[in-house]
Chain A
Amino acid sequence: MVSRRFSSRATRDLRLEQLVSPVPELGLVAANGPNDPEPELGVEGGAVTRMDGRESADFDVIDRFVVAHGLDLQVASEAMSMDDLALARMLVDVNVPRSELVRLSRGLTPAKLARVIGLLDPVELMLALKKLRARRAPGNQAHVTNLKESPALLAADAAEAARRGFAEMETTVGVARYAPLNAIALLVGSQTGRPGVMTQCAVEERRNLELAIRGLVTYAETLSVYGTEPVFVDGDDTPWSKAFLGAAYASRGVKVRFTSGTGSEALMGYAQGMSMLYLEARCLAVVRAAGSQGVQNGSISCVALVMSVPGGTRAILGENVLAAWLDLEVASGNDAIASHSEIRKTAKLMGQFLPGTDFVTSGYSVMPRHDNTFGGGNFDADDLDEWLTIQRDWQVDAGIEPVAEDELLRTRERAARAVQAVFEELGLPAISEEEVALATTGYDARELPDRDRAADVEAADDLLARGVSGLDVALALDRHGFGDVAEAVLDMQRQRLSGDYLQTSAVIGADGVVRSAVNDPNEYTGPGTGYRLEGERWALLQGLPQVVAPAELLGDPEGADPIVVEHDEAVRGDDPAEVVVAVGPAFAAAIRRTIADLDHGAVLDAVCEGIREGGGQPRLVRVRRVADVAFIAHDGAALSGSGVALGLQSKGTAVIHRADLQPLDNLELFGMSPLYTVESYRAMGRNAAGYALGRRVGPVPTELDNFARAKLIVRTTLLHARETQAVVPGAAALELELVTTPVA
């Protein structure tokens, strides 16, 4: 047998990816692997003799590096003797300060760290992350690339990202020789959008360092580390070479964060039978030992592999927490595509989004996915409104700000013009007016003209040969009337002199002042403390461009031609064919259209025609004392010669009622007002007449729209509020006369 429901689910996007059962010997196990070593630390005479299942003679490069630089033996005896569960509870205890946990972490071995993190459930991990984040306020990083390596589009996107509040942005290259051009476009664009945004260009280390020395980029996060020796060596590095490189970058005033993440060891074939979380604990121990201020982790490019095994998403959150516990800045992944399923992807995101990390993503694609040359982009330009709405829903700051379209267009155009000027001044191949225009308004690079790529790379080589630097960029901007952008680019050069952003979790404010874990630390100790989204920032993040003022949603009835005229108080009729049409207090007055946007005059006309077609005689009354459709209809029925009435609420909901029924009972209820047409109301009128004359009546067929409520509940609420505002308590119903002849 085959279930049609199973078949239907098998076609969902989720099923494009594979889930596998754990294979510990291949490292395909998220956490608490059966082969993970027992945590231990043997110390004799001030020297480490054993760690996590190995004698010192058997230590690999990772063990050796961690023992040499990453363990505080004065803390170790205290910390290693603590109960795993006691440590785990301290991680979520708001009364245990972050500083105490960081102190203890200095004496814990990787196996112990992984073991303790493995004891936390997802909500506990989120609380721990919120508490352990190094910098007070969360932030975000953007990815800025495009397939044509168009400098105008790079600059425009960088400016948009900066204006939206990203504190860092990263570009890369399709063709390596483009690097200086892309770095310049990113620098100019970012500083046009907001002074102080830090930029990087992910390329090979030598080239990267060269760009940094010239002041074209300010940070690097290309320094990858791995959790087993064979994978580290296959990556053509050792902990010492990576640590040396980190110091080399810092010596040139470049902010550095290392990169690690679960899954890479399994993917590269040498997980040595250990769990992903344990191997990541080894990576993070190396990162701290190397003296990196921070790390980009959270599985990064292997995220789909980690999420293929049970508990993968939890392990990824666990590794972010672990990094924060080790006092490292955390750029917490969410950049590579995690899943085909929007639901699953978003569910995974919440682990970092809700607690907040130093950089909630290590690269939010500010351009559409097609232009993301990092290999996708988990969240991109098309997802921005969702991201902003989810921030607004949760009252959570995940580092992206809403900005009005016209303002962004101005920012984008200015950035494209600024980089056009810099290219001209530096003698680089010209950026055309068409490129500027399309970079400002276009969807992606496909809309832009092709550039002469051979000429571009030649010019890039020449640029490097000439020794062009950030100073030349500033001067070019100054000469072309972009004085403020020139000043911002120059300030990024001054930042390299003071080196303040070399401290943990540093970002630069628009005022040029560095905020890091040193001068703006996270001191969360429970409700009422730490970073809270409130005040001006909360007002800013609420103000999405598509938010409307409730009053605008309903329109203003002032000054419109009257649809009905009110007369005297209504009395009971005596015509047995009479069907009263009873409308609500605001009908055809304060409210003039139904929720389906039908004119109230047309609705009344259709209802009356239907009643006449059914052999009845319509009479209009307005019920003033209530807004509920059942009572409107029942009041009408009490006035009707036949005892039958059709009640109409202003939003279009209708009820056919009879005087002898209880008010909340009815003959027919028409609750799907968003779906009704004028014809529906005519049919309701016919049926009402049928009931009045005692004929057999088949109910008016109605459709169902399960999304009507989600789509229209706000309008429904506002319409009903206006109806209830029109209620006159205790007032009698009034005779009503239709005065307009509605256009059909």
Chain B
Amino acid sequence: MAFDPIRDYPLGARRPDLVTTPAGIPLDGVSLDALREGALAADEIRATPRTLRLQAEVAHASGRTQLAENLERAAELAAVPDDLLLEIYTALRPRRATAEELEAWAAQLDGFDAPKTAAFVREAAAAYAERGLLAHG
């Protein structure tokens, strides 16, 4: 069934068929029975890029452009490892990274098929250059 971003929200209640764990366990598969059987792992309990993109569609359809863009970045970042996320965050803090280092992070994000977030980092680098917020190399 096609996804209707307004009618099908909330997904958990209205379209559980569209929600799975990264390994494809359906929402109702996350149950006490499965837990007792040891069939669930902690790193399975996270939203998939697909689910986050659906939420971005919901935000967009509700007229919330910026929230939708944020959720699109989130969808891209879902595949990025935790440590890397925190490293990129740190690099984006004032005067932590040079222009080259920020460009390297952007390129890494491109490698994760995260073009919107990569562009976001490049945009930050340009602004930081203008405002003296880059680290001196």
Q: Chain B nearest CB: distance from A109 CB in Å?
A: 16
Report Cα–Cα, A249/B76, bound state, in Å.
Answer: 12
* A151 touches B (CB below 8 Å): no
Q: Chain A nearest CB: distance from B41 CB in Å?
A: 8
Contact at A238–B86, with CB atoms within 8 Å? no
Complex contacts, A498 vs chain B, CB 8 Å: 10-12, 16, 19, 27, 47, 51
* A525 touches B (CB below 8 Å): no
Which B5-60 residues have C-beta < 8 A from chain A? 6, 9-13, 16, 19-21, 27, 30-32, 35-36, 40-42, 45-48, 51-52, 55, 58-59
* B99 touches A (CB below 8 Å): no
Contact at A290–B66, with CB atoms within 8 Å? yes
* B104 touches A (CB below 8 Å): no
Contact at B64–A494, with CB atoms within 8 Å? no
Report Cα–Cα, A333/B47, bound state, in Å.
Answer: 30
Given A72-B65, A238-B124, A499-B55, A490:B32 Cβ within 8 A? yes
Q: Which of A62-70, A264-272, A392-400, A402-410 contacts B (4 or more CB under 8 A)?
A: A62-70
Given A241-B89, A514-B10, A518-B62, A247:B74 Cβ within 8 A? yes
Which A482-502 residues have C-beta < 8 A from chain B? 483, 486-487, 490, 493-500, 502
Query: Which one, B35, B65, B75, B130, contacts A478 given CB within 8 A?
Result: B35
Report Cα–Cα, A244/B97, bound state, in Å.
Answer: 15
Complex contacts, B67 vs chain A, CB 8 Å: 291-293, 503-504
Contact at B46–A253, with CB atoms within 8 Å? yes
Main secondary structure of the interface of A (DSSP, over half): helix
Q: Which residue of B lies closest to A247 (CB)?
A: B73
Complex contacts, A60 vs chain B, CB 8 Å: 131
| A interface bracket (residues with beta carbon within 8 Å of B) | 35 or more
Q: Chain B nearest CB: distance from A512 CB in Å?
A: 7
Given A69-B69, A471-B35, A490-B31, A64:B130 Cβ within 8 A? yes
Interface centre among B27, B59, B64 (most CB of A within 10 A): B64
Interface centre among A292, A495, A500, A517 (most CB of B within 10 A): A500
Contact at A513–B127, with CB atoms within 8 Å? no
Complex contacts, A61 vs chain B, CB 8 Å: 127-128, 131, 133
Q: Chain A nearest CB: distance from B83 CB in Å?
A: 10
Which A175-223 residues have C-beta < 8 A from chain B? 205-206, 209-210, 213-215
* A467 touches B (CB below 8 Å): yes
Report Cα–Cα, A251/B48, bound state, in Å.
Answer: 8
* A740 touches B (CB below 8 Å): no
Q: Chain A nearest CB: distance from B92 CB in Å?
A: 4
Query: Which one, A206, A245, A475, A497, contacts B45 given CB within 8 A?
Result: A497
Contact at B20–A497, with CB atoms within 8 Å? yes
Q: Which residue of B lies closest to A506 (CB)?
A: B10
Contact at B82–A213, with CB atoms within 8 Å? yes
Contact at B94–A237, with CB atoms within 8 Å? yes
Complex contacts, B93 vs chain A, CB 8 Å: 236-238, 241
* A723 touches B (CB below 8 Å): no
Report Cα–Cα, A63/B29, bound state, in Å.
Answer: 47
Report Cα–Cα, A139/B80, bound state, in Å.
Answer: 34
Q: Provide the B91-120 mask, 1 if CB < 8 A to any CB of A, else 0.
A: 011100000000000000000000001001
Contact at B133–A233, with CB atoms within 8 Å? yes
Complex contacts, A288 vs chain B, CB 8 Å: 66
Report Cα–Cα, A99/B66, bound state, in Å.
Answer: 16
Complex contacts, A209 vs chain B, CB 8 Å: 82, 85-86
Which A277-315 residues have C-beta < 8 A from chain B? 288-293
Contact at A240–B131, with CB atoms within 8 Å? no
Contact at A474–B45, with CB atoms within 8 Å? no
Report Cα–Cα, A214/B43, bound state, in Å.
Answer: 8
Interface centre among A229, A241, A472, A495 (most CB of B within 10 A): A241
Query: Which one, B10, B19, B74, B133, contacts A513 given CB within 8 A?
Result: B10
Report Cα–Cα, A240/B129, bound state, in Å.
Answer: 13
Complex contacts, B78 vs chain A, CB 8 Å: 251-252
Contact at A497–B51, with CB atoms within 8 Å? yes
Contact at B52–A251, with CB atoms within 8 Å? yes
* B135 touches A (CB below 8 Å): no
Q: Chain B nearest CB: distance from A624 CB in Å?
A: 67
Contact at A247–B77, with CB atoms within 8 Å? yes
Contact at A247–B117, with CB atoms within 8 Å? yes
Contact at A289–B66, with CB atoms within 8 Å? yes
Contact at B32–A478, with CB atoms within 8 Å? yes
Report Cα–Cα, A514/B62, bound state, in Å.
Answer: 16
Given A209-B85, A209-B86, A238:B27 Cβ within 8 A? no
Contact at A240–B12, with CB atoms within 8 Å? no
Report Cα–Cα, A210/B82, bound state, in Å.
Answer: 8
Report Cα–Cα, A205/B86, bound state, in Å.
Answer: 9
Report Cα–Cα, A102/B80, bound state, in Å.
Answer: 34
Which A43-72 residues have C-beta < 8 A from chain B? 59-61, 64-65, 68-70, 72
Contact at A513–B46, with CB atoms within 8 Å? no
Given A69-B69, A210-B82, A291-B70, A248:B10 Cβ within 8 A? no
Given A243-B70, A470-B45, A502-B71, A251:B13 Cβ within 8 A? no
* A327 touches B (CB below 8 Å): yes
Q: Provide the A458-475 mask, 1 if CB < 8 A to any CB of B, else 0.
A: 000000000101111011
Complex contacts, A616 vs chain B, CB 8 Å: none
* A685 touches B (CB below 8 Å): no
Contact at A517–B88, with CB atoms within 8 Å? no
Chosen A-B contacts, 14 in total, with CB atoms closer than 8 Å, are A64-B130, A233-B94, A241-B89, A243-B70, A247-B70, A467-B42, A475-B35, A490-B30, A500-B10, A500-B11, A503-B9, A518-B10, A518-B62, A519-B10
Give 10 nearest A-B pairs by CB, closest first.
A291-B70, A469-B42, A250-B74, A498-B12, A240-B124, A241-B92, A251-B77, A247-B73, A500-B10, A251-B74
Interface of A toward B, CB cutoff 8 Å: 59-61, 64-65, 68-70, 72, 99, 102-103, 106, 205-206, 209-210, 213-215, 229, 233, 236-238, 240-241, 243-253, 288-293, 327, 467, 469-472, 474-475, 478, 483, 486-487, 490, 493-500, 502-504, 512-514, 516-519
